[in-house]
Chains A and B, each alone.
Chain A
Amino acid sequence: MSKKISITINGVVYEVDEGKTILEAAKEAGIIIPTLCYHKDLCVAGNCRVCVVEVVGQTRLAASCATPCHDNMEVLTNTLKVRNSRKQIIELLLSEHNADCTKCYKNGNCELQELAAEYKIMSQDLIDLVPHKFYSVDMYSPSIIKDDSRCIRCQRCVRTCAELQGVNALSVAYKGDKMKISTFFEKSMNEVVCTNCGQCVNHCPTGALIEKNYIEEVWEAIADPDKHLVVQTAPAVRVGLGEELGFDAGERVTGKMVAALKCLGFDSVLDTDFTADLTIMEEGTELLSRLKKALVENNKEVKLPMFTSCSPGWIKYIEHMYPDYLDNLSTCKSPQQMFGALAKTYYAKARKLDPEKIVSVSIMPCTAKKFEADRPEMHDSGFRDVDYVLTTRELAIMIKQAGIDFMRLPDKKFDRLMGESSGAAVIFGATGGVMEAALRTAYEIVTGREVPFENLNIAPVRGLEGVREASIKIENPLEAWAFLDGVELKCAVAHGLVNAKKVVEAVRNNQASYHFIEVMACPGGCLGGGGQPIPTSPEIREKRTMAIYAEDAGMPVRKSHENPEIIKIYEDYLKEPLGHKSHQLLHTKYTERNRY
């Protein structure tokens, strides 16, 4: 228990924990103080100065986000001095900002716009500085657009890139009036260490960092009668989409999402979860085969620990930062790309469609998926495997544009083929999910028994700790896996690249001996992805996590290898995990990249 102190806010005395800031104390008391640079995920910057309050006895105003409460402190949050100052600060920000709101992608979802509306900035007394600046827009990345003219220099993106991701692709350059957020040598975002994770987009209060959207392209494809539109939806989308369309965080909208996609005009609404199950089959087998080669054949070429490869932000990160560990990455493509390769081969064949006429669209909680789909190696179907990647936010925009009353939509089910999935696939959306799904299947392959956890819920790999460890001892395996008898399978789970870094460093310094490591680039896993609804916060991510596990618990099939469509695809098409066809369509290789 921390010490309580008393603080007076607007004449009312409150008891707060010592160490709390004025902003936190006010929030507890139900008093709203406007903020811009403040974000719950990030360290305090105190640079926008919008949150200033009056502390009785001080001549200057205090930034409430950065000022700790003192015993008997007296704070006023709504005096003329405070209001005028805040208003002037908003005016200053607007004078430096390209406030052409109607032409901004974030119109209606911008914190600066909201504040301007709240403070009723009706006229601009100050001189518009925008014509005097040489703002540039960086459109070269396939994932992220950086528009300096919309930037308010709050540095949330810089802190996100440094604190959550440890990437530092974005940093502050120059000083004074020329101060800007920039990259290494002001190169464009596609030329630097940026992993395209989109966390900066998720944390940007304005339209300075946005995803590159492909909404119009998809509308055009939908309108083209010659095209067959296939859409896949990632597991995390169903627990986030509702937030954009009137639901509270943590609401599962799977059935409505499917119904909406059908309304939009997609010919076939399918599920990335299907290829998530497929990933488990391939990746689980790959892990077991690596273990066999290492333990039985004593093959020194085999790299352990094996890292998961589902998160394209993580892939690009390791390509930049730890290229010597590329062989430790599973060769499995991500579920999105497995789906893309199969849509224009397996699916096309089964549905008797010309793959050239298939347009493959994916709905992802992720901006890095846009880059992934754009990778030159992702053409194994003979075509571009995934044509367009839309974020959860872009899907919500399309649903709104189409005039769909999302809340009143009746639930619909995914189409077949490639629409069936297990609970193991759904949990791919949460950090630890891939690990849990893989263990459910691999353990059963090896021992013939279910994982020894209640209701198949592998609790040690769940949660929101940055790095989590688990181990599972293999006893009495089936004959084919006798070499694993008594082996303690050691696993680690990391989410947020700053935590990924910790794990890789531990491996590099021989401080940890893991067999299998799951890494998701974004905090919370895909459900906290850079393409998910804005805002994000630890609380929101926790609600989405609960929704993901609830979805899993409610599924009739909970293990990837029991998904009937998975059994069928191996019988009809792929034959066996890591087989010839799998290698051709479902596995990939990686590229070393520059460190800046």
Chain B
Amino acid sequence: MAVQYNLKRADFIFRNENDWEKILSRTLQRDKQELINELISSELKGRGGAGFPTGLKWKLTSEAKADQKYVICNADEGEPGTFKDREILTKVPFKVLTAMGICAHITGATKGYIYLRGEYKFLRPDLEKAIKEFEYYCNEIDFDFSIEIFLGSGAYICGEETALMESMEGYRGEPRNKPPFPTNEGFMGKPTVINNVETLAHAFTIFKHGAKKFYDLGVQFSRGTKLFSVSGDTPKPGIYELELGMSLQDFVDEFGDGDTKAVQVGGASGFLVPRKRFGETSIGYKGKLTGISLPTGGSMMLFNSTRSMFNVLDNYLEFFREESCGQCTPCRVGCQQLLIGIKAVKQGQKPASYLDKLLKLTETMQLTAKCGLGQSVANSFSSIVENFREEMIY
């Protein structure tokens, strides 16, 4: 049987163009409102995983009144199974810096930060060199904007935007109460745009090629391309730029090893999709008209039949138990209960029906946790337990 090849590969992000200076100076000449409208019409959504419309974010920040505003590039790439931002910052840093500059121009910020994951310390010297070059050019064209690198210290939670800002301000990396949102009160209490590395890289593409080019890719509600970090049981792990809206079946046909049992979409905080659902699942943002659509930060982990889904879940839960900031009850205690709970079921200390209690618990976590971390533990837990219940018990 011939495999129908439906994946649409793209090459925007890593195409090396060496024209950032031109793009920057050209875009800075343009009307701010027009730029915002262009970004909004592209329907670019946050590529960190949450999918907030980027144009709206910039618009809200540009409308906020303050004496100081900030642009932050979130490079705290910590989701298990993602490694795309590292490549962007290594290969095309100027796209990111340029987009930050354009964002600053639009919103009125004069200061930018790159919150770099602690484990990416090795990127710092090259990135600093790039920033120097970028700032030199900004100075040359009389554009008042500078960028500083802030190095994280290894906590997963600091990828959450408000925890990241707390961390930058010198406090414990704990998420804040929302509202207020960063667009109004972000870093140092000032209006702040915070975007994922990849989002900024796409913004560069949009300002270079125009919104239409981006919009024409992908499907309704999920426009444009996206980088995918492919790992696990696959003959070709790596980073791929693909159009959004693809079906998971097509993805597995391309990247699977022929024995793919399940795919974890979106890392530890994402969903596990079992083989029987590959066909009906597409990758994109919520709002797709038919079938299940899963948002993702781009982590795609493939598991074949040799993998125990109990071990997979056990691993994720151990991760969450440790990486929860610990401040809110549902997340801190919930993660501990889930981990110890599935072990107890596996070891026969608790009946199989205890899994249902744990599923109820994840519902509470989803409803009541303070930030995305605690809220999304339910994703992997329920999708794994519901689809591989027997593996949890026996």
Contact = CB atoms under 8 A, between A and B. Distances in A.
B322 interface: yes
Contact of B334 (A47, A81, A92, A132): A92
Contacts of A179: 324-327, 332
B368 A49 contact: yes
A152 B327 CA distance: 10
Given A49-B328, A179-B326, A68 B368 contact: no
A173 to B, nearest CB: 9
B329 A49 contact: yes
Contact of B340 (A88, A132, A178): A132
A48 B328 contact: yes
B383 interface: no
A360 interface: no
Contact of A175 (B324, B336, B368, B370): B324
Interface in B359-394: 360-361, 364, 366-370, 375
A52 B375 CA distance: 14
B326 A60 contact: no
A175 B334 contact: no
A88 B360 contact: yes
B367 A127 contact: no
A92 B337 contact: yes
Contact of B369 (A44, A49, A126): A49
Q: Max chain B CB contacts within 10 Å: which of A50, A92, A93, A172?
A: A92
B367 A81 contact: yes
Given A95-B333, A95-B337, A176-B332, A155 B370 contact: no
Contact of B366 (A60, A66, A127): A60
Most chain-B CB neighbours within 10 Å: which of A45, A67, A84, A127? A127
B332 A52 contact: no
Contacts of A126: 337, 341, 357, 361
Nearest to A90: B329
A129 interface: yes
A127 B340 contact: yes
A1 to B, nearest CB: 23
Given A49-B369, A177-B335, A127 B341 contact: yes
A88 B350 CA distance: 19
Contact of B326 (A49, A59, A174): A174
Interface in A123-156: 125-127, 129, 132, 152-153, 155
A178 B326 contact: yes
Interface in A155-181: 155, 172, 174-179
Contact of A47 (B327, B344, B357): B327
Contacts of A85: 364, 367-368
Contacts of A68: 179
Nearest to B374: A49
A96 B336 contact: yes
Nearest to B328: A47
A92 B172 CA distance: 23
Contacts of A92: 329-330, 333-334, 337, 361
A: interface residue count bin: 35 or more
Nearest to B341: A127
B325 A46 contact: no
B321 interface: yes
Interface in B29-81: none
Which one of A44, A48, A174 has the greatest number of beta carbons of chain B within 10 Å? A48
A413 B370 CA distance: 55
A302 interface: no
Contacts of B360: 88
B290 interface: no
B157 interface: yes
A472 B259 CA distance: 89
A84 B368 CA distance: 11
A420 to B, nearest CB: 52
Contacts of A132: 340
A63 interface: yes
A176 B321 contact: yes
A208 to B, nearest CB: 15
Contacts of A95: 333, 337
Task: Place the interface of chain B in its size category.
Answer: 35 or more
B177 interface: yes
Nearest to A88: B364
A44 B327 CA distance: 13
Contacts of B328: 46-49
Contact of A60 (B321, B357, B367): B367
A95 B364 CA distance: 15
Contacts of B369: 49
B254 interface: no
Given A46-B370, A60-B366, A93 B333 contact: yes
B250 interface: no
Given A84-B364, A125-B357, A177 B332 contact: yes
Given A85-B364, A153-B327, A63 B321 contact: no
Given A175-B157, A176-B332, A153 B368 contact: no
Residue with the greatest number of chain A CB neighbours at <10 A, chosen from B177, B321, B324: B177
B369 to A, nearest CB: 7
Interface in B296-321: 320-321
B325 A176 contact: yes
Contacts of B179: 67-68
A60 B375 contact: yes
B110 to A, nearest CB: 30
Contact of A61 (B335, B341, B367): B367
B185 interface: no
Contacts of B333: 92-93, 95-96, 129
A81 to B, nearest CB: 7
A177 B326 contact: yes
Interface in A33-65: 44-50, 52, 59-61, 63
A178 B324 CA distance: 10
B155 interface: yes
A491 B340 CA distance: 60
B330 A89 contact: yes
Contacts of B330: 49, 88-89, 92
Interface string A326-353: 0000000000000000000000000000
Contacts of B322: 175-178
A68 B332 CA distance: 25
A136 B75 CA distance: 38
B32 to A, nearest CB: 29
B257 interface: no
Given A47-B328, A179-B332, A88 B361 contact: yes
Interface centre among B174, B326, B361, B368 (most CB of A within 10 A): B368
24 contacts: A46-B177, A49-B330, A50-B329, A52-B367, A61-B368, A67-B177, A67-B179, A68-B179, A85-B367, A88-B360, A92-B337, A95-B337, A96-B332, A96-B333, A96-B336, A126-B337, A153-B327, A153-B329, A172-B327, A174-B326, A175-B155, A175-B157, A176-B322, A176-B323
Interface of B: 155, 157, 172, 174, 177, 179, 320-330, 332-337, 340-341, 344, 350, 357, 360-361, 364, 366-370, 375
The 5 closest A-B pairs by CB, nearest first: A179-B326, A66-B177, A92-B333, A47-B327, A88-B364
Given A129-B336, A129-B337, A172-B172, 4 more contacts: A48-B328, A129-B333, A175-B323, A178-B322
